[in-house]
Structure 1
Amino acid sequence: MRLEDFDYYLPAELIAQTPVEPRDASRLLVLHREKDMLEHRHFYDLPDYLCDGDVLVLNETRVLPARLWGRRAGTGARIEVLLLTRRTGDIWETLVRPARRVPVGTEIIFGRGELKGRVISVGKEGERLLEFAYEEGPFEALLERLGEMPLPPYIKEKPENPGRYQTVYARVDGSAAAPTAGLHFTPRLMERLQEKGIKLAYLLLHVGLGTFRPVKVENIEEHRMHAEYYEVTPETAAAINEARCRGGRVVAVGTTVVRTLETVATSEGVIRPGKGWTDIFIYPGYTFKAVDCLITNFHLPKSTLIMLVSAFAGREKILAAYKEAVAAGYRFFSFGDAMLIL
Structure 2
Amino acid sequence: MKPIPYIEIKDYQYELPEKAIAKYPLPERDASKLLVYKNGKIETSQYKFLAEFLPENATLVFNNTKVVEARLQFSKPTGGQIEIFCLEPFDENEDIIVAMQTTGKVNWKCLIGGAKKWKSGNLEKNIATPNGNVLLQACKKEQSNETGVYVIEFIWNNDSLSFAEILHYAGIIPLPPYLNRETEKEDAVRYQTVYAQKDGSVAAPTAGLHFTTRLMNELQQKGIKEVYITLHVGAGTFKPVKANNIAQHEMHAEFIDVQKNTIVHLLQQINAPIVAVGTTSLRTLESLYWIGVKIHEWFQIHRNYNELNDLHVEQWAPYQLNNNSITASEALQAILYWMDAKGTERLITKTSIIIVPGYTFKIIKGLITNFHQPQSTLLLLIAAIIGSEWKKVYQFALNNNFRFLSYGDGSLLWL
TM-score category, normalised to shorter length: over 0.9
Aligned twin of 2:238: 212
* Secondary structure class of the residue paired with 1:321: helix
Distance in 2 (alpha carbons) for counterparts of 1:63 and 1:145 = 14
After superposition, the Cα gap between the structure-2 partners of 1:323 and 1:101, relative to the gap in structure 1 and judged at 3 Å, is farther
- Cα distance change of structure 1 residues 212 and 130 upon mapping to structure 2, 3 Å threshold: farther
Q: Quick one: which amino acid aligns to residue 147 of structure 1?
A: G
Decide whether aligned partners of structure 1 residues 109 and 216 sit closer, same or farther in structure 2, where only a CA change above 3 A counts: farther
User: In structure 2, what is the equivalent of residue 54 of structure 1?
Assistant: 58
Instruction: Give CA deviations for 1:162-184 in whole Å, capped at 9, x if unaligned.
Output: 21111000011111010000000
User: Which ranges of structure 2 fall in alignment gaps of 5 or more residues?
Assistant: 1-6, 92-98, 100-105, 128-133, 293-325, 337-346
Alpha-carbon displacement from aligned partner over 1:46-72 (angstroms, at most 9, x marks no partner): 111111221100000000011111135
Paired AA for residue 239 in structure 1: H
Residue segments in structure 1 that go unaligned for 5+ positions in a row: none
Partner AA of 1:37 in structure 2: K
Structure-2 change in CA distance of 1:220 and 1:106 (3 Å): farther
In the TM superposition, what is the alpha-carbon distance from 1:251 to its structure 2 partner?
Answer: 0.3
Q: 1:106 to 1:37 in 2, by over 3 A?
A: farther
Q: Which residue of 2 aligns with 1:23?
A: 29
Residue 171 of structure 1 corresponds to: 197
Alpha carbons 2:172, 2:183 under 8 Å: kept: no
Paired position in structure 2 for 1:237: 263
Larger Rg: 2
- In 2, Cα distance between equivalents of 1:313 and 1:320: 10
Q: d(CA) in 1 for partners of 2:75 and 2:157? A: 18
1:207-246 deviations in Å (ceiling 9; x for gaps): 01321322121111111111111111111111111112xx
Counterpart for residue 146 of structure 2 = 124
Matched to 2:135, the amino acid is E
- TM-aligned CA deviation for residue 109 of structure 1: 3.0
The alignment status of 1:252 with 2:252, answered yes or no, reads no
**Do 1:92 and 1:130's aligned partners in 2 also have CA atoms closer than 8 Å?**
yes
Q: Is the 8 A contact 1:59 1:202 kept in 2?
A: yes
CA distance in 2, matches of 1:309, 1:256: 13
Relative to the length of structure 1, the TM-score reads 0.92
- SS of 1:287's partner is coil
Note if contact 2:174-2:183 (Cα within 8 Å) is conserved in structure 1.
Answer: no
Partner of 1:300: 373
TM superposition shift of 1:323: 1.1
- In the alignment, is residue 197 of structure 1 matched against residue 223 of structure 2? yes
Under a length normalisation based on structure 2, what TM-score does the superposition of the two structures give?
0.77
The worse-fitting range, judged by mean Cα deviation, of 178-187 and 279-288 is 279-288
**Distance of 2:214 and 2:146 partners within structure 1:** 45
Aligned equivalent of 1:36, options 40, 44, 47 = 40
* Matched-pair identity in %: 40
Matched residue of 1:133: which SS? strand
Asked whether 1:284 is paired with 2:357, we answer yes
Residue in 1 aligned with 2:136? 115
Q: Distance in 2 between matches of 1:260 and 1:8?
A: 27
| Pairwise CA distance, 1:325 | 0.7
Contact 2:65 2:196 in 1 (8 A): yes
Greater shift in the superposed pair: 60-69 or 303-312: 303-312
Cα deviation code 1:301-321 (max 9, x no counterpart)? 11111111111221x211221
Looking at structure 1, the residues matched to 162 and 274 of structure 2 have their Cα atoms a distance apart, in angstroms, of: 39
Are 1:65 and 1:149, in contact at CA under 8 Å, matched by a contact in 2?
yes
Output the CA distance in 1 between the equivalents of 2:121 and 2:111. 14
Cα shift readout 1:118-164 (whole Å, capped 9, x = no counterpart): 22223333222211112123322221111011111222264442211
Q: Check conservation: 1:15, 1:332, Cα contact below 8 A.
A: yes
Are the aligned partners of 2:203 and 2:235 in contact in 1 as well (CA < 8 Å)? Answer: no
User: Following the alignment from structure 2 to structure 1, what is the Cα–Cα distance between the partners of residues 121 and 54?
Assistant: 53
Give the secondary structure class of the aligned counterpart of 1:92: strand
- 1:215 to 1:108, Cα distance in 2 relative to 1, 3 A: farther
1: CA distance, partners of 2:118 / 2:362: 43
State whether residues 70 and 111 of structure 1, in contact with CA within 8 Å, keep that contact through their aligned partners in structure 2. no
**Contact 2:139/2:154, CA 8 A, preserved across alignment:** yes
Q: Deviations over 1:35-93 (max 9, x none)?
A: 21111111112111111221100000000011111135x65421222211123451112
2-structure distance, mates of 1:178, 1:278: 17
Q: Which residue of 2 aligns with 1:313?
A: 386
Give the residue type in structure 2 aligned to 1:135: N
How big is the alpha-carbon RMSD for the aligned residues of Structure 1 and Structure 2? 1.9
Distance in 2, Cα, partners of 1:255 & 1:106: 41
